[in-house]
Structure formats: structure tokens, C-alpha cells
Amino acid sequence: MIRREIYYHYRANKIIMASLICQATLFFIFLGTFIAFSSELNNGRDNLEKIYGNKAIYQLLDGYFDPDEFSEFLGQENALNTLKKFYNKLNTAHHFQYLSMFNQRITVEDPLSKFPEIQAMDGGTAKIINAFQFNKQAYDYFNLVVAKGKPFSLEDFEDKGEIMPVLIGSKYAESFAVGDHIVASYYQKHVILEVIGILKENSLIYFNTDPEFYLDEYIILPYVNYVDPKADFEEEFQKIAYFAMINGYISVEIGDEFAQNMMAEIEVIAQQTGFYNYQFIGSNPNIQPYRGLVNVINLNYTLVRWLFIFSFCLNVITICFQLYFMQKKRLTALAVHYLNGASLSDLVKQFSCEVILIMLISFTISHVVLMYILKIANTQTFAFLLIITIVLTFSVSVFPIYKLIHSELMSLLNNTEDCS
């Protein structure tokens, strides 16, 4: 009986029902967008706090700016061993985190044109691609997330011969699959890059003076801990690679004591390894952009929160009154049902089912839009959206049900029933 009455009611009030469904659907879509946006803001703020909150960042460079001095050092018999020991000691330091990272370009073979926007060299298949390199500490520091495949693990930073595991920026997600191989030239060495994961869209780090250095168009390479070379060419390659690896950033807690401990430990490392030609460039190069970003994020989060509260209250009020006035128009029909044997609880149940059906249809449509059209939803978004749907359903039902139970017509019918 209830299903039949709901069907006839919807059929008789098609325009009103359609408008209610549209209003609730738009509200859920906006709400889902707000939730996704708030989640991104919170993640961005948390990442910034983790990276730069109470942190001082120093840039560490080798001091071999003169080409002759550089060549002279490389010509020393123990040059590679010195570089390796210096780099490994930096990675295992006690008073600071060593973040070795660098952006450069590498040459890859692209016979299937998986990098279509990049022009091939000399009419062949070789292309120059953006690449970014991390040591394990830098990769963990920025907490990069993969959308497909797996992230870097400790073993990915170990020497595997000519095979090098890599991550691919989200721009190339449609061109590459996990397990694909890319033939490349890395510091003039032939390597095969094996795709183990694809980064989440809009993955970013804080590099040099750029607080939003996006990695969407980059191939991410690990800084590998190489085994001892077996040939002269391999030794020369490792020297160049390790020279790049000892140029990076040092993260310490803010404070003179932490900075002094860091500098003292680096001096000890220099004495232990015999690599003395280093220098610091600046302190906290990103602290001002960091503070500015945090302020912007906090303002945006407050704005989003107030927009959500205002939108929720407005929708509760408007939907609630629309349902109330629609119910008021059908009091006579409800009274007939009541006199024909329907109980008051049956009428309340019928009204509740009508509201639940409206919200269910609206939630389903918004789910499709957010998931397959806007593509901004995740499990957290839908869990929160479902909770809001339940709360909204309850909120818009309370007032009309209360008015129905305490309406003059229902009171009159109850009195008539009591008298008889």
C-alpha cells in the first residue's frame, strides 16, 4: 500500500519532486567537491607542517666550481671511494636528515611515441625527458603516493645492474603500465628503466625556491648505492653519479644548538672520509613561501568550512519547508487514508519513505557525477557524504512529521475517533 501511495504521490507531483531531487543532488555534488577540496587542503597543510614546521633547511654543495680542480679530484686514485664514504656518512648522520635530490634531463628511446609531446632528436626515436632523482631519505621525507603499482622501497635504491626501477608522473599514466621498460642513457650509461609505479596526480615537493614543484611530467629515479665498479667506464660513471648525490639539502630542527650539532657532525664526516671541499648555501630557502602557503591554506580551509555550514543549513531549511508545504496541500488526502484504516504511524512511515527515496536518488546521481565525471571522489569522500545524507534526511523530516502529528486535522480526527 505504501509503495502504491508513494508512486501516485510522485506521479501527481512530478515537477516538485524533480526540483527536490535536483536541489539535493546539486547540494551533494557541491558537498563532495568541498570534502575533496578540504581533504587536499588538510593533506597539503599536514605535508607542509611535516616538511617545514620547525625545520631549518640548508643546501649542501661540493666546492669544485673550477673545472681544473674538479678534473684533478676525479683523477685521484681514491676519488670514488672518498665520494662514496662521504655520501653514505651523510645518509646515516645522527643530527640531521640528508635530502639528496636533483632535477635533470635524460635521453630515452621512444619508438612507440609514448612521449608524444616531446620532439625526437635528429629525426630518430631518442628523446630528452625530464627526470628527478631522490635518495631514500628525500623520497620518504616528501611522502609521495602512487596511484598504481608500488612506491620505492629500500631495495630499489640498491644496485641492480642495468635495470633501474622508476616511478612515472601522472601525465604519462595512460601511456605506461606497471612493468613497462624504457631504454635510457643515464650519465652516458645504458640503463633499462622499469616502471614500478605511477605517482598520484598533482604530486609535488618543495625544491629550491619553488614550494610547489610538481612531478606530473617527470620520471622519478632513485639515487642508487652502487657496488664496486668492474671497468674503467663504470668507475667514471659512478664518480659523476656520486658527485651529484653529495649535492643536496640538510634538514634540522630550528635552533642554534641543532645547527651547531649538524655542522660539527658534517666536519667530523669530512675528516673521516677525506672530503673537505664543501660549503653551505643559505638557510631555510623556503621558509617564507612555507609560511605564506600555510596562511593561504588556513584561510581557504576556514572559507570552505563556513561555505559548507551555510550550504547545509540553507538546504535543510529550503527542503524542509518545501516538504512541509507539499504535505500541507495533501492533508485532506492523508485524512482520507487515515479514515480508511491507515494508522498515524503508517502516514509517518509513508512520508519518511518518500524523503528517503528523494535522498537516495540524489545520492546515487551525485555519486556517479563525482566518481565518473569530476573524478574527485575517494572512499573518505563517500563515507562522509553518506553520513551527511543520513543527517540531512533526518533533519528535513523532523519538522514536517512533527507538524503532521500535531496538525489540527489530525487532532480533529483523533477526537472524532475517541468520541465514537
DSSP symbols for 45-98 = HHHHHHHHTTEEEEEEEES--SHHHHHHHHTSTTHHHHHHHHHHHHHT-SSSEE
Asked which of 195-199, 229-233, 345-349 is least confident by mean pLDDT, the reply is: 345-349
Per-residue pLDDT at 285: 45
pLDDT (tens digit per residue) in 391-410: 888 988 888 888 777 776 66
User: What integer is the mean pLDDT of 139-149?
Assistant: 92
Inter-residue contact 74 to 66 (CB < 8 Å) = no
| AA identity, residue 368 | V
* pLDDT of 339 above 80: no
Secondary structure (3-state) at 152: coil
d(CA 90, CA 96): 9
Domain match, 407 and 307 both: yes
Domain match, 203 and 301 both: no
Closest by Cα among 411, 415, 404 to 346: 404
d(CA 11, CA 6): 8
SS (H, E, C) 303-331: HHHHHHHHHHHHHHHHHHHHHHHHHHHCH
The domain of 137 spans 101-222
331-339 and 344-368 helices, crossing angle to 10°: 130
Question: What's the gap between Cα 159 and its chain centre?
Answer: 30
Domain contains 393: yes
Per-residue pLDDT at 165: 97
Domain match, 39 and 124 both: no
Query: Phi and psi for 238 in degrees, rounded to 5?
Result: -65, -35
Domain match, 36 and 124 both: no
* pLDDT of 10 above 60: yes
Give the whole-number percent of the chain exceeding pLDDT 90. Answer: 43
User: What integer is the mean pLDDT of 121-148?
Assistant: 92
Domain match, 312 and 411 both: yes
Q: For residue 13, count other CB atoms closer than 10 A to its CB.
A: 16
Provide the number of structural domains found in the chain: 2
Domain contains 392: yes
Domain match, 122 and 35 both: no
Domain match, 117 and 213 both: yes
C-alpha cell at 404: 503532521
Out of 180, 195, 222, a domain closes at: 222
- For 32, 42, 76, 217, 367, the CA distances from 302, given in Å and listed in that order, are 17, 11, 59, 32, 25
Domain contains 342: yes
Domain match, 218 and 107 both: yes
Domain contains 251: no
Domain match, 31 and 107 both: no
Band of pLDDT at residue 305, cut at 50, 70 and 90: confident
Burial profile 35-70: b = 16 or more Cβ within 10 angstroms, e = fewer = bbebeebeebbebbeebbeebbbbbbebebeeeeee
Inter-residue contact 109 to 256 (CB < 8 Å) = no
Out of 169, 202, 222, a domain closes at: 222
Domain contains 247: no
Asked which of 21-25, 128-132, 187-191, 335-339 is least confident by mean pLDDT, the reply is: 335-339
Domain match, 135 and 205 both: yes
Question: Regarding predicted confidence, which is higher, 340 or 259?
Answer: 259
Domain match, 308 and 412 both: yes
pLDDT (tens digit per residue) in 150-175: 999 999 999 988 899 999 999 999 99
Question: Regarding predicted confidence, which is higher, 133 or 408?
Answer: 133
C-alpha cell at 249: 639539502
Per-residue pLDDT at 266: 93
Secondary structure (3-state) at 403: helix
Q: Is the pTM of this model over 0.75?
A: no
- For 58, 208, 347, the CA distances from 265, given in Å and listed in that order, are 14, 24, 78
Out of 188, 204, 222, a domain closes at: 222
Calculate the average pLDDT of the chain.
85
* pLDDT of 88 above 80: yes
Domain contains 80: no
Domain contains 371: yes
User: What integer is the mean pLDDT of 95-122?
Assistant: 91
Domain contains 287: no
d(CA 90, CA 92): 6
Q: How many CA atoms lie within 13 A of 186 on its CB side?
A: 28
User: What integer is the mean pLDDT of 253-261?
Assistant: 84
Query: Phi and psi for 194 in degrees, rounded to 5?
Result: -105, 120
